[in-house]
A and B are shown apart, each in its own frame.
Chain A
């Protein structure tokens, strides 16, 4: 798995060098699907020589981006809001809410977030059984209902690192760009 991550990291870094989007518009997250549901990568980018490391991320339960629950479609998203203590029903804690997306076949994708699996107080709730929406304990947690998901464990987690990037800036992360 480490080899696979290193490989996709190399590919993603090369692809990133070919594409420059939106750095003049403020900080953003860049997410590469990498052709897999659970071995994607995400990083923060706030301009010249201002990027974070790549962190593993996943999206969706299938690869048809124009189908509900499947991975997030390619393109640029506006971050509608960021919260450090979101109190949703299925998604809580540190989240970034993204704009809706109209697919070329007319299908309307909604309720898209960057998030993990934690409680609104940024904690873990890991009872036995399922569902365990507020517990990060397995690679299967990278699957999602369409959102981009990053790991909550260990501490400091990838979610924590993205959140630290957000709060290290003069302004918020305003966009998320999704690449293939």
Chain B
């Protein structure tokens, strides 16, 4: 794998036309938002507030699709349930929303997912949560559920971040040590193999903290953490030791439907459409450009969150200011911004068609100790953006992860 010296982590020079597009990003948004794109299927309001209605059962959420609810795989509007995890919690402790906790194969038969066995018992009001350097925290695993056989099996211990391709390849990160420890870098290697039977070969050549996000055709999108930050560089891997940098200090907002381009947040204040094959930047929008985001303003987004989705010419993403809809037909412009009543917006929003999304949201806060970050009950959410209306499913405690099961791989 190519090592990048600090000075070489600069992006490729942006062409003159692109630079103009960046500078004019806010103006483009302001002008075009009123005019409205002529060929889009259903126009959205430029600004709006999503209304919510609560339902008591999963079955009341439309459309029906597989979900993970507190360690159970739920299908058929709640009628079919399978307990998974092998006794571990079905949560993605090491990735959070950076990578889906569970992904489904194209033929809907396989579910690859993360699980977690926690060892540490924290003391929420003590400095450092009462933990000392080197204390064992927990053990992550990657597991596979085969719906055709009903069997749930362990793929690897000390592993996390499963990514399942349309051709049935499973990628994940296998750490050097099975146990995560307090203040000890948890590094490993990317492994790839046939999901059902393996074997899993190593694609990276040096240990680092990687996150395998998704497949873009035969290319594997991989984050590599910077050693002293939660920031990551984004790479495309095409085989063992074969990779190229797509963007430094970047996370994927969405992968295009054909898998040839990613829309990424770069350096927190810039969003770019990047070609997967060679890393070329096709379009860019600076979020601190004129008219887009004033410092301290809550009305426009200052940073787009990772793990949104792309359908047609639209991309949706969570942000610090609400749910953002981007239009990427010609360049990038902010089409809509929807405020939500949820504590942290709508997480992992996924467009199911031109106007509907599914995702999940934090609801009410539950105190943890006197000083610690509260826990949040959460729930599955579906929204019709044209109608600015959402439906919220049954509430679950923070630790009982509830997610729609999708797959960002293309």
What is A's interface to B at a CB cutoff of 8 Å?
A: 1, 4, 19, 21-22, 25, 36-39, 61-69, 73-78, 80, 86, 88-91, 99-111, 113, 129-131, 133, 138-140, 143-147, 174-175, 177, 179
Contacts and interface: CB of A to CB of B under 8 A. Distances in A.
Chain B interface size band reads 35 or more
Contacts of A145: 229-231, 268
B344 interface: yes
A102 B129 contact: yes
Nearest to B9: A131
Interface in B91-149: 91-98, 116, 118, 120, 122, 124-129, 131, 133, 137
B55 interface: no
A44 B368 CA distance: 26
Is the contact region of chain B dominated by helix, strand, or loop, or is it mixed?
loop
A68 B372 contact: no
A76 B373 contact: no
Given A69-B306, A76-B127, A88-B229, 7 more contacts: A62-B305, A66-B96, A69-B231, A76-B126, A99-B183, A104-B398, A143-B303
Interface string B372-406: 11111000000000000000000000110100000
Interface in B306-332: 306, 318-320
Is the contact region of chain A dominated by helix, strand, or loop, or is it mixed?
loop
B268 A143 contact: yes
Centre residue among B120, B372, B376 by max chain A CB count within 10 A? B372
Contact of B371 (A103, A108, A177): A177
B302 A37 contact: yes
Interface of B: 6, 9-11, 89, 91-98, 116, 118, 120, 122, 124-129, 131, 133, 137, 180, 182-183, 186, 225-231, 248-249, 251, 267-270, 288, 295-296, 302-303, 305-306, 318-320, 343-345, 347, 362, 366, 368-369, 371-376, 398-399, 401
